[in-house]
């Protein structure tokens, strides 16, 4: 039973699949969040690759292949010239694809990959434990999920209200391995008032797996990002490094299900996700939805402290242009500008800061 004005925490796989009754009348308007590492960072977790490298470099190992990998990473940490000029350890996943040039076989890749995968999972488990459930904090974070429009400018907030004017179904597609979202939305936690409409909680989907799995999916978008041409066509290498392929092999219906969550959304809120080259598949999906004009986007421009309103408006305009360009539609910014809402703030999802409605 839903109470008007509440976020109802439901254990349902997909509210979107049950979105119509009474002869086809829409019951829920779906909002999907696509979360990246910026979300965990905003919660106070030290989840940058640079943070992990400091931990990883200190972990004991007697294997020469692993020691060689750590030497390259340590060079990056110390600001030394990279031994492999085209390998940028700022992005671990893309760097692994480039680093395959240092490896001679699948067996060598397996040793290196499983070690850094295991250690990354252990490091992130330690970080995940730092986010302790506090109902006051979690309640505030749930409000940000249910009402992201609170951070929009006045006119944009009015425009959003005309678009989203009823009960909503809320979904999260997380590119993170941590399960902080599950902590925030603990199943039996209290509901949160959401100003005149109810928000029904749907699925939390971890696109690349989570820390309860044997291994998380860590790697590249496609085989072109595997630098070692001798290894590139080895099905075992592709299965290990190419994330979309691994997802298909684990569950051949998973990709369709995840993309359907986005396709069924009226609003897709992107927070803390760089949509980099290791996730080109998801960038392409968002581009297709924008081109089809099937949904609207709400993004966060992580800025504040403006001296005047004009700088803030310019930041909003530039953020829209940057996002549309990132999706590969830079020549059509004006065509799609009104499909993008921008929350210019550093306060969204920040536990110690909560903007009253």
What are the pLDDT digits (tens) for 211-223? 999 999 999 999 9
Distance CA 30, CA 33 (A): 10
Q: Is the pLDDT of residue 99 over 50?
A: yes
H or E element, residue 40: helix 37-42
Least confident of 17-26, 32-41, 119-128, 166-175: 17-26
What number is the average pLDDT over the span 226-236? 96
Do the Cβ atoms of 215 and 182 come closer than 8 Å? no
Asked whether the CA dihedral 276, 259, 300, 128 is positive or negative, the reply is negative
Q: Is the pLDDT of residue 235 over 90?
A: yes
pTM for the whole structure? 0.88
How much is the pLDDT for 23?
39
Three-class secondary structure of residue 163 per DSSP: helix
Q: Is the pLDDT of residue 108 over 80?
A: yes
Sheet holding 199-206, edge to edge: 7-9, 199-206, 168-174, 29-35, 267-271, 296-301, 340-344
Per DSSP, 212 falls in state T
Which tens digit of pLDDT belongs to each residue from 289-336? Answer: 999 998 999 999 999 888 999 999 999 999 999 999 999 999 999 999
Beta bridge partners of 204: 172
Cα–Cα distance list, 64 to 55, 76, 115, 226 (Å): 18, 19, 12, 22
How much is the pLDDT for 76?
86
Distance CA 159, CA 156 (A): 5
Domain ranges of the chain: 29-43+134-344
């Amino acid at each position: 039973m839903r109470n008007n004005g509440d976020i109802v925490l439901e254990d349902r796989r997909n509210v979107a699949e049950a979105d119509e009754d009474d002869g086809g009348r829409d019951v829920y308007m779906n909002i999907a969040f696509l979360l990246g590492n910026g979300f965990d960072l905003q919660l106070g977790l030290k989840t940058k690759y640079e943070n992990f490298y400091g931990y990883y470099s200190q972990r004991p190992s007697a294997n020469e292949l692993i020691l060689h990998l750590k030497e390259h990473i340590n060079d990056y940490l110390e600001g030394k010239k990279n031994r492999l000029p085209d390998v940028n350890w700022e992005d671990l996943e893309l760097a692994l694809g480039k680093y395959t040039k240092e490896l001679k076989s699948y067996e060598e890749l397996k040793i290196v990959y499983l070690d850094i995968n295991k250690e990354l999972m252990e490091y992130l488990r330690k970080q995940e434990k730092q986010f302790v459930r506090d109902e006051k904090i979690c309640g505030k974070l749930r409000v940000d999920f249910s009402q992201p429009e609170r951070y929009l400018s006045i006119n944009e907030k009015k425009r959003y209200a005309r678009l989203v004017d009823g009960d909503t179904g809320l979904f999260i597609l997380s590119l993170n391995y941590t399960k902080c979202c599950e902590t925030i939305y603990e199943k039996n936690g209290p509901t949160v008032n959401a100003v005149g409409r109810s928000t029904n909680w749907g699925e939390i989907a971890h696109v690349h797996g989570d820390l309860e799995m044997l291994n998380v999916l860590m790697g590249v978008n496609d085989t072109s990002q595997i630098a070692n041409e001798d290894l590139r066509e080895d099905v075992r290498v592709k299965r290990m490094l190419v994330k979309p392929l691994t997802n298909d092999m684990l569950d051949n219906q998973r990709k369709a299900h995840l993309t359907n969550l986005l396709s069924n959304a009226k609003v897709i809120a992107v927070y803390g996700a760089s949509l980099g080259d290791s996730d080109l598949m998801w960038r392409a999906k968002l581009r297709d939805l924008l081109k089809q004009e099937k949904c609207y986007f709400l993004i966060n421009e992580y800025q504040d402290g403006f001296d005047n309103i004009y700088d803030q408006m310019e930041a909003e305009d530039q953020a829209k242009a940057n996002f549309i360009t990132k999706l590969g539609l830079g020549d059509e910014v004006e065509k799609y500008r009104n499909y993008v809402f921008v929350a210019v703030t550093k306060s969204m999802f920040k536990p110690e800061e909560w903007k009253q409605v």
